[in-house]
Structure 1
Amino acid sequence: MPQIAQLTADNWYLASQLFWLLVVFAGIYVVIGRGMLPKIEATVDARDRKVADDLAAAKAAHAAADKLEESYRQQGEASRAAAQKAVAEARDKAAKDAEKRLARIDAELAAKLSAAEADIAAARSSAMAEIESVAAEAAGELVAKLSGVKVAAADAKAAVKAVLHG
């Protein structure tokens, strides 16, 4: 092969090729290593800083959200406790008002009941007096018809009273 034969025949070609190989690699090193690599590293570092800053901001926002949530929870619990207290107070007030109204109504009903009982007692005593007088008259007439003996009205009343209250 001629390429291999060139290498072995004359070292001058080999040295020339090695020289240009080193020059090309040095050029690539200078262009990439000194020109492009710092820009790439700066971009990667900026991206890393941005990601770290975004993560820190996210953690701060999460912590703030947790604090806000806790604040809302505490406000909700305080509001719930205040509402329960207001409901309990309203219930107690309503119960006391109901007790007062019931006491007033009970007093009114007791007064009406005692008045009705007094009316009933008066009606009963009036009815009893009428019954006694009617019964005494009937007893006197019955005795007069059956035995033919006339009984005095006072005696008939005393006998009826004795039997009725007896």
Structure 2
Amino acid sequence: MPQISQLAATYASQIFWLLLTFGIVFVVIGLGMVPKIQANVDQRDQTVTGDLAAAEAARAAADRAEEEWRTRENAIRADAQKVIGEARATAAKATEQTLAAANERIASRLTAEEARIADASRAAMGEIEAVAAEAAQTIVSRLSGANVSEAEARDAVKAVLANG
């Protein structure tokens, strides 16, 4: 076969072109493109590392800010509770004073009204005694024909009302 006999003659030529092609590919890719790609990868790794460090620092700052905010919020809440307590105490004291003044006014009015009622009751009782004494005097004079003095009739009515 003639192709096999030519193989040895073309073998050296094919190896040469193979080595030349791989050499060119190595020089172009290995020495030209790989360093650029490696530089981009290194730059990306540095950017990611820097971004992660910045994110960690930002998270730590946010945690500190949140803790400070919570501390301030708790202090403000405690102050607000204190102010509310003081306001309640002041309002309770003012209400107590108002109620005490109202109770004093009511008690004085009640005492005055009780005195007025007692005076009216005594006056009514005096009028009832006078009317009863006059009625008793009239009844005794009509029934028995005896004349009873006004003082005797009044004493008799007072005795009956006192017992009765």
The TM-score with structure 2 as length reference comes to: 0.87
One-letter code aligned to 2:92: A
Can you list the C-alpha shifts for 1:39-93, whole angstroms capped at 9, x where unaligned? 1111110011111111221222222223223333333333333223322221221
Give the direction of change, closer, same or farther, for the CA distance of 1:3–1:155 in structure 2 (3 Å limit).
farther
Matched, 1:7 2:32: no
Ranges in structure 1 where 5+ consecutive residues have no aligned partner? none
Q: Confirm whether residue 149 of structure 1 aligns to residue 125 of structure 2.
A: no
TM-superposition CA deviations, 1:83-117 (whole Å, max 9, x none): 23322221221111111000001001101110111
How large is the RMSD of aligned CA atoms in angstroms?
1.9
Determine the structure 2 residue equivalent to 1:165: 162
Match of 1:134 among 131, 134, 148: 131
Q: Verify: 1:55 aligned to 2:46, yes or no.
A: no
Identity of aligned residues (%): 55
Which stretch has the larger CA shift, 14-23 or 31-40?
A: 14-23
Corresponding residue for residue 112 of structure 1? 109
Q: Which amino acid aligns with 1:68?
A: A
Q: Across the two proteins, how many residue pairs are aligned to each other?
A: 163
For structure 1, which segment, 68-77 or 33-42, has the greater mean C-alpha deviation from structure 2 after superposition? Answer: 68-77
1:35, distance to aligned residue in structure 2 (A): 2.3
Letter matched to residue 107 of structure 1: E
Name the stretch that deviates more: 108-117 or 120-129.
120-129
